[in-house]
């Protein structure tokens, strides 16, 4: 008598891949805009000087936000029955708030559009995929 065990990726591994995927998606936008498109991507964070936006910063943002989102989701899953719904609402609020900096700090319209696109792409990967089981 043999039983077939259905192969199912572990939630942690899938979530780690989602966070990495968000960083890669933001980097893809950066590659299209900067090396391919020739844009000098720069931003002036609120209260800070104008600085170029490089690949390390582009990858670090989604990694940090993704890991923080994952941690919040893990806490919510232990504390409430509606963890996914609560997390999704919070994630959309955080995404909306994250758009303030590129809209205010982008240097030129092309930089603003590129920075907003990177934020939206990161959200488009993390919000639907991170809470899935």
Asked if 131 and 85 count as a contact pair (C-beta separation under 8 A), the reply is no
What are the tens digits of pLDDT across the range 33-90? 999 999 999 988 777 888 899 999 999 999 999 999 999 999 999 999 999 999 999 9
Average pLDDT value for the chain: 91
Assigned token pair, 90: 């919070």
Q: Smallest Cα–Cα separation from 121: which of 103, 95, 100?
A: 95
Q: What is the pTM of this model?
A: 0.87
């Amino acid at each position: 008598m043999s039983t077939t065990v259905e192969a199912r990726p572990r939630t942690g591994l899938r979530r780690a891949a989602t966070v990495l995927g968000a960083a890669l998606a933001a980097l893809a936008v950066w590659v299209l805009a900067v090396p391919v498109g020739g844009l000098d991507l720069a931003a002036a964070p609120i209260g800070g000087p104008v600085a170029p936006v490089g690949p390390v910063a582009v990858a670090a943002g989604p990694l940090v936000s993704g890991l923080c989102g994952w941690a919040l989701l893990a806490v919510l899953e232990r504390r409430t029955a509606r963890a996914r719904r609560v997390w999704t609402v919070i994630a959309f609020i955080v995404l909306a708030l994250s758009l303030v900096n590129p809209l205010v700090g982008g240097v030129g319209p092309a930089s603003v559009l590129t920075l907003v696109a990177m934020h939206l792409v990161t959200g488009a990967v993390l919000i639907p995929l991170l809470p899935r089981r």
